[in-house]
Amino acid sequence: MRKIPATMTTQHPDNAQEAYWCGKSFINTTDEIEEVYRIFKDLDAEEYMWDWEGKFVDEAVIDKLFRRYTEYFKKKQLGKDKFLTYRIPNIWEESGYRIARAFINIVTSADFAEDFKFHTPPIFEVILPMTKTAGQIGEVEEIFSKVAKLKCEIFNKDRCGFNQINVIPLIESVEQMTSISEFLEEYISIHKKKYKKNPEYIRPFIARSDPALNSGIVPAVLAAKVAISQIHEVGKKHNIGMYPIIGTGSLPFRGGVNPENIHEVIEEYGGIRTITIQSAFKYDYPIEQVKKAIKFIQKTLPELKPTIISKEETKKIITINEIFSDYYKETVEPLAAYINKFSKYIPSRRERMQHIGLFGYSRGMGKVKLPRAITFTAIFYSLGIPPEFIGTGRGLEEAEKRGLLPLIKKIYLNLERDLSHAGKYLNKENLALFAKKNPLFKQIAQDIEKTEKILGIKFGPQKDKHFLHRNLTSNIYYKMKMKKDPSKDILEAAIIRKSLG
C-alpha cells in the first residue's frame, strides 16, 4: 500500500506576502520548480499539486527537479516518499490538447526516472477538476492508457509497463457532495466491470472554496461533512480504503485552515486524510510556525474519525443548504457586475489563464459569472464586509424557526468560531454607507444583525490590528468613491489578515 500524504501543498494564489525562499509575492511559472523543492525540503510537506488547470505550467518539471536537486530526490523518492500530483484540465469544459500534453509528460517522466535509477513512475495520480459523473473517471483512465500505449508503440518498446493512471475526482458543488455515495457506488461498479476487482483505494477530493462561492459558507461546510460521512460509509461497505482530500484556504470562507488555528479547527475535518496547504498558509506566517503546523497535521489527521451523519440528518441538511443557498444567491447574483468591476484591483500571484467557473445558475437574465473564489473573498474583505455573513443571518433565522439550528451547530463544529474570526474584520460604517446606495447591502446588514442576535456574538474589530484593517477598508471605500486606485490599501489589509482572499 502506498503512503497517503496528509498535507498537499498547492499553487492557490491567496498569499498577501512574499514567499520566504524567493522574496517575491508573485510566483511565476519558472519559480514553481524551486517551490516544489523548497516545500518538500524546508517544510517537509508530503505532496504538491502541479496545476495544469486554469494556469500556465512548466512542462519540464520532472527533468528540472531531478537534474537540479539530484541528491535530494535520490534520498526522497518522488512517487514513493514525496508526491507530485497533476491537476489536469477537464476535457468536458475545455479543449483536450492540454490534457494530451500532461499525459505525454507523465509517461515520459517515468522513463526519465528510470534512467536516473529513481522510483518509477514518479507521477501515477491526477486530479480531475469539476468531475460531474463517475463515467468521466473511466474516460480519463482510458485516454491515458491510449496515450501510454501510443508512446510505447512509437518510441520505447522495451518500456511499456506503465499505462494506467489513478484519477482523483474533485467534487465542487454542494449538491454533488451531499450525494457523493451514489457517485462512488457507480465508480466502483464501473471499475469492477473493467478490471474485475474493486479499486485498491480511492482519494475523493472535496472542494471548499467553490461550494462557498456558489452557495455560501454554511452549505459548503455542511455538504463537506455529509460527503466525508458518505465516503467512509461506502468504503466500509465495499472494504475499500477511502482517503478523502479537502481543499482549504486560510480564511473561514474558504476553509479556515492556517498555522495559527490548526489545533482548534482540525477536528472539523475528522475523516479527511489530506488537507491542502495553500500559498497564504505557507507564506503569510513565520516559517517555524508553518513547519510546526504541517508536522501537527501529519501526525494528527490520520487519527481523527469522521462524524457519521444519518440519512435522516442528511435530508435535513439538504433542506438547510437550500435555505442558506437561496438567501446567499439572492444577494450575490445581482451584485456580480459590481464584484467583477472591483476585481481588477486584487493583485495577481500566479500566471493564471481565464478560469471556467461554476457560478452559472440561471435566473431570468441568463448566467452570472464571478471571479475565482480567492478574488471574490479578497474583494469583500477589502470592503470590510466578510463574505461569510452573506445569507447567513437570514438562513440562521429560518433554520431556527424550523427547528434546524441544533443540527447545524452539531455538525458545523466551528460555526461560531469561524463567524467570530470573520467578524473581527467587519467595517459596519462601510456597510452602512453601501446600504444607503444599494438595498442588496441592506440584506447583508440584516444578515449580520440576525447572526449577532441568534448566536449572541457582537461582531467588529477587537485588537489593534483589526482596527487598522477597518481603517484601511474605509480608505478603500473612499478611494473607490473618488475614483482613486485603492491597490496599496488592499494589499496592506491583506497582510494584516494574513491572506489575500
pLDDT in tens, 340-362: 889 999 999 988 765 444 443 23
Give CA–CA dist 359/369, Å, rounded: 6
CB 459 within 8 A of CB 453: no
Q: Can you give the pLDDT at residue 9?
A: 98
Distances (CA, A) of 389 to 109, 212, 484: 46, 11, 28
Q: How many residues does the chain have?
A: 501
For the chain, how big is the Rg over CA atoms in Å?
23
Pure H helices in 45-96: 61-68, 70-75
Q: Can you give the pLDDT at residue 367?
A: 64
The pTM score is 0.95
Terminal C-alpha separation, the chain: 37
Q: What is the DSSP string of 150-187?
A: HHHHHS-TT-------EEEEEE--HHHHTTHHHHHHHH
CB 373 within 8 A of CB 501: yes
Confidence of residue 309 (pLDDT cuts 50, 70, 90): very high
Q: Which of 395, 464, 457 is nearest to 422 (CA)?
A: 457
pLDDT in tens, 1-15: 899 999 999 999 999
Give CA–CA dist 438/196, Å, rounded: 60
Q: Which residues pair with 132 in a beta bridge?
A: none
Give CA–CA dist 17/14, Å, rounded: 9
Residue 388 has φ and ψ, to the nearest 5°, of: -55, -25
Q: Which of 103, 230, 77 is nearest to 164 (CA)?
A: 103
Torsion of CA 479, 481, 487, 489, to 10 degrees: 50
Three-point CA angle 266, 268, 273, nearest 5°: 65
CB 253 within 8 A of CB 280: no
Give CA–CA dist 301/267, Å, rounded: 8
Q: Examine residue 486 and say whether the peptide bond preceding it is cis (omega within 30 degrees of 0).
A: no
CB 255 within 8 A of CB 217: no
Confidence of residue 156 (pLDDT cuts 50, 70, 90): low
Give CA–CA dist 464/458, Å, rounded: 17
Whether the per-residue pLDDT at 122 is higher than 50: the answer is: yes
pLDDT in tens, 413-463: 999 999 999 999 999 999 999 999 999 999 999 999 999 999 999 999 999
Confidence of residue 143 (pLDDT cuts 50, 70, 90): very high
pLDDT in tens, 222-279: 999 999 999 999 999 999 999 999 999 999 999 999 999 999 999 999 999 999 999 9
Backbone torsion region of residue 342, taken as left when φ is above 0, otherwise alpha when ψ lies between -120 and 50, otherwise beta:
alpha
Three-point CA angle 436, 440, 445, nearest 5°: 70
Secondary structure percentages of the chain, helix, strand, coil, to 5: 55, 10, 35
Q: What is the DSSP string of 296-335?
A: HHHHHGGGPPP----HHHHHHHHHHHHHHHHHHHHHHGGG
Give CA–CA dist 377/374, Å, rounded: 5
CB 177 within 8 A of CB 171: yes
Three-class SS of residue 276? strand
Q: Which of 110, 26, 129 is nearest to 355 (CA)?
A: 129
pLDDT in tens, 107-120: 999 989 999 999 99
Q: Can you give the pLDDT at residue 198?
A: 96
Whether the per-residue pLDDT at 284 is higher than 50: the answer is: yes
Three-point CA angle 416, 413, 3, nearest 5°: 135
Q: Can you give the pLDDT at residue 353?
A: 64
Residue range 96-115: average pLDDT?
89
Give the count of alpha carbons within 13 A of 380, CB side only: 28
Percent of the chain with pLDDT over 70: 96
Residue with cell 469561524: 418
Q: Which of 166, 269, 250 is nearest to 209 (CA)?
A: 250
Give CA–CA dist 338/460, Å, rounded: 24
Type of residue at 132? K
